[in-house]
Amino acid sequence: MKELALILILCTGFSSLAPAQIQGSLQNESKFGVWLPLQLIPSVTLYNDAVRSNFGFEWEATPLLYSFGMNDQISPWYSFIVEPTARFVGSVEISLAGQAYTTKLGKSYFSSSAQVLGFIPLAERGEHLTLNLGVAAYRVQNDTRIFKVIGFSSFFGILHLNLKHADGPTAWIGSLEFRIF
């Protein structure tokens, strides 16, 4: 009789876990199904140096983010799919981007970049205003340039306005980024 009771307890325990595992799997698939199409929406950027000003579009991905402002019960590490809350409550991220410009920068319409950015919450734990600070390496005109980055995020970490500056020769990049994930 005890063995039958133990079997029933184990069966009900495992059967209650199965729907949770299925639900978690479906939730991850639906999150990916939302994330991927949103990555197709470009941010806008303006590249300006002594020779030219070029308007362009930028697509960005975050392979790694560490959030230092989240609850201890939640993992602070994120890869690619980053919830805005993890970013705006305080975080450091590595991001990669590709840019396409409307006119050529040298011999090509395209450039690429990698950046390390820190997000420091300023108002309402970052929901209303976050300071963005970091460095970026841009590959433009077959040359890699290092830019200092400063900017602000608002609207629950979705809207970012960043200004990037490099010396020798001076170049500026302004970008208005929409980062839903």
DSSP string covering 23-90: HHHHHHHHHHHHHHHHTTSPEEEEEEESS-EEEEEEEEEEEEEEESSS-TTS-SEE-S---HHHHHTS
**Residue 112: per-residue pLDDT:** 95
Query: Which residues, listed in sequence order, are joined to residue 177 by a DSSP beta bridge?
Result: 160
Residue 90, phi then psi, degrees to nearest 5: 125, 115
pLDDT per position as a tens digit, 125-134: 778 899 999 9
In the predicted structure, residue 10 carries a pLDDT above the cut 60: no
pLDDT per position as a tens digit, 22-40: 334 445 566 667 767 777 7
Written as six digits, the tokens of 133 are 């600070």
CATH architecture entry for 42-178: Beta Barrel (2.40)
**Plot region of 40 (φ>0 → left; ψ -120 to 50 → alpha; else → beta):** alpha
C-alpha–C-alpha distance, residues 173 and 165, integer Å: 7
Written as six digits, the tokens of 4 are 């039958």
Q: What angle do CA 133, 134, 139 make, to 5 degrees?
A: 140
Q: Residue 82's pLDDT band (boundaries 50, 70, 90)? A: confident
Contact 181, 82 (CB under 8 A): yes
C-alpha–C-alpha distance, residues 172 and 50, integer Å: 10
Residues 6+ apart with CB under 8 A from 180: 38, 84, 158
C-alpha–C-alpha distance, residues 128 and 126, integer Å: 5
